[in-house]
Structure 1
């Protein structure tokens, strides 16, 4: 009996992993579309009347600095199309691996070179640019992260003479509002504040408007309630929905060769035991995973508020791929593959997923329509290629009447 057990169980496990690996190979780096979105190519946005175009540039911190970076070329093409109506929105993790360190550090030169490339691309552009911070900009969430982030903020503000170029200021939680156009409100949240392990600012002494974090959620709800007549674009670093690593999704290879998480070349097979690491990340989580208690608490509180409204698009980076979700009348985008790519699982609540270099663009038109499109790098097309587009539907209310004081 023991002999049969020792033969059958490994055989079943091998068959399961082999079949799963074969399934993954079929769709890796291929776009997944929800059934109702398969005909997306037949849909087209208005040919005129573009009011605002926002490039959602997540996790760009590992771009090539020799002028050959394909995503930077893709961004340049978008700039030519959008003109002064465009906004470059960097969604955090702007500098790998640890943000902008102090002068003399071994990572300083490369980090400064990359950051200056971003700043120059904004200076040479008629539109504007806005930086958010991510966990890598905060020294990967460790002690001393606040100082690291503030160093990057100071550098951007010093070298980029544009108002609102780094949001929220001083590492505060936010929310910070910016009216991009009539009927379109940008709202920026510093989600790293909620999952950060080291010092984080709060209170007037550190440049933040309140001393109790509960006031953040109260203020967020007030802003959303007051602006139900507008389309609201919420920008943050951490996604609220994801079919990728930080959402607890792993490849078969990561179950069999778990040490590749430390280095991509450590191919030591550890079947069964190797699944302990993915299971831990899925159900308990590292500090930057949705399953971690801090992240889980933040996500629950934010969704409880966002689900009250139907005029919101929430955009983030963090996971190195391209994803779109429609949940309870709102849209959720992951646009985190400006310099790195990683596995993303198809299906689930996702309407679209893809593991490729690129970014999403959010376009707002004079007739009130909002369209998103996903652009990826193409070896044959200088302009890149559009692999997905969709018109977003909002439920808006009447604009509140202006109250004029008597006398």
Structure 2
């Protein structure tokens, strides 16, 4: 019996980890498609002249290069040339790593300012719309003092770009903010960081927010969606509601065996079994920015309860550093968070598409009422980028 526990069980566990690791290495950085979407290359959207509006959804660009060589910003420039004034670019939060825009004199200020100026330059040079949202890093990684940090970034952007809709929702309020992008196409922006933020966060007229109680936000969001069922509604936020990646509790075998690589990628100290404590904690209890955390779960539950009442909603977020698409109860949920970093994403589950690569999603709306989702990624062998996935988003009655 002792031999069984000391030899056979460890051997089986080792074989399991090796097999799982081999499977992960086999598909990492390769696209996963749901079986019904495998032949997506054969499908073509309507002609370009029928385009009503194009929305580029770019998340987590906080570590972008500021010398003009950033591959994702260059990919955005190509999209700008195609969309012209029929487009809107939405930066989905975590605009500056690691802690947003600190005060003057802080050691991170020069780098933060350079990165933010790169985004501002991209917006200013574009004839269409440009919008920034805030994410947890923009709120000082969710810590106390994050509200002041976010306001500093918003004020900086507004001073550079004199457009009322350039930073939404305004003043760090929960939202929802709505923008009519084109006839029949509505953008709704909500501040999901508000719900998981520690410390001060704005609410009430004294802080220029329209509500005195957060329940009023959910009531207004439901009313907004109800009176716009005749339109195609795109909802932009920072936190995803479905994810096959880190914040959704998905970890690699490597992270179980070498958990200290979460602190630094070169700390390869094997801690089997003990190393699984951290991934299991993140999956079942969660940090403040994980779906399993109490505050995040409450927010997610309330939002989904409202969204499930309607059809054809397109909800897009960043936060996880990869590209994902889910179709759940006649609505579409997108993760577009690989604007400057990439991280592991698990295939399968409820996902129709996943990919670990630098890039972003585009949603194109056409005159015939169709909405097409397009995943654009940085290609290693060309400066033009590539389309990794394209899908007609089914519209349900």
TM bracket (short chain): over 0.9
Write out per-residue CA displacement over residues 63-97 of structure 1, whole angstroms, 9 at most, x where no aligned residue.
Answer: 01121111111111111101011111000000000
Cα deviation, residue 4, structure 1? 2.9
Write out per-residue CA displacement over residues 114-159 of structure 1, whole angstroms, 9 at most, x where no aligned residue.
Answer: 1011111111111110000000000000000000000000000000
Mapped partners of 1:387, 1:269: distance in 2 = 35
- The equivalent of 1:62 in structure 2 is 63
Write out per-residue CA displacement over residues 250-294 of structure 1, whole angstroms, 9 at most, x where no aligned residue.
Answer: 000000000111111111100011001000000000000000000
The Cα RMSD (Å) is: 0.8
Could you say what secondary structure the match of 1:89 adopts?
A: strand
Cα deviation, residue 326, structure 1? 0.2
Write out per-residue CA displacement over residues 278-317 of structure 1, whole angstroms, 9 at most, x where no aligned residue.
Answer: 0000000000000000000000000000000002000000
- The equivalent of 1:21 in structure 2 is 21
- The equivalent of 1:263 in structure 2 is 264
Kept after mapping to 2: 8 A contact 1:128/1:162: no
Could you say what secondary structure the match of 1:390 adopts?
A: strand
- The equivalent of 1:39 in structure 2 is 39
Could you say what secondary structure the match of 1:371 adopts?
A: strand
Mapped partners of 2:199, 2:338: distance in 1 = 27
Kept after mapping to 2: 8 A contact 1:312/1:394: no
**Structure 1 residues 2-401: aligned runs within 5 Å:** 2-47=2-47, 48-395=49-396
Q: Which structure 2 residue ranges, 5 or more long, are not aligned?
A: none
Mapped partners of 2:362, 2:132: distance in 1 = 16
Mapped partners of 2:27, 2:135: distance in 1 = 29
Mapped partners of 1:181, 1:214: distance in 2 = 30
Could you say what secondary structure the match of 1:137 adopts?
A: coil
Mapped partners of 2:230, 2:295: distance in 1 = 32
Q: Which structure 1 residue ranges, 5 or more long, are not aligned?
A: 397-407
Mapped partners of 1:269, 1:382: distance in 2 = 39
Kept after mapping to 2: 8 A contact 1:84/1:127: yes
Kept after mapping to 2: 8 A contact 1:230/1:311: no
Write out per-residue CA displacement over residues 164-183 of structure 1, whole angstroms, 9 at most, x where no aligned residue.
Answer: 00000000000111110110
Could you say what secondary structure the match of 2:282 adopts?
A: helix
Could you say what secondary structure the match of 1:305 adopts?
A: helix
Write out per-residue CA displacement over residues 179-204 of structure 1, whole angstroms, 9 at most, x where no aligned residue.
Answer: 10110110000000000011100000
Write out per-residue CA displacement over residues 26-64 of structure 1, whole angstroms, 9 at most, x where no aligned residue.
Answer: 100000000000011011111121111111010000001
Mapped partners of 2:135, 2:316: distance in 1 = 13
Kept after mapping to 2: 8 A contact 1:231/1:394: no
Cα deviation, residue 395, structure 1? 3.3
Could you say what secondary structure the match of 1:52 adopts?
A: strand
Cα deviation, residue 381, structure 1? 2.4
Kept after mapping to 2: 8 A contact 1:376/1:384: yes
Cα deviation, residue 368, structure 1? 1.1
Mapped partners of 1:380, 1:7: distance in 2 = 48
Write out per-residue CA displacement over residues 208-256 of structure 1, whole angstroms, 9 at most, x where no aligned residue.
Answer: 0010100011000000111000000000000000000000000000000
Alignment length (residue pairs): 396
Mapped partners of 1:51, 1:126: distance in 2 = 15
Mapped partners of 1:219, 1:190: distance in 2 = 14
Mapped partners of 1:349, 1:395: distance in 2 = 19
Q: Which runs of 4+ in 1 moved over 4 A?
A: none
Could you say what secondary structure the match of 2:30 adopts?
A: coil
TM-score (norm: length of structure 1): 0.96
Could you say what secondary structure the match of 2:75 adopts?
A: helix
TM-score (norm: length of structure 2): 0.99
Cα deviation, residue 205, structure 1? 0.4
Could you say what secondary structure the match of 1:136 adopts?
A: coil
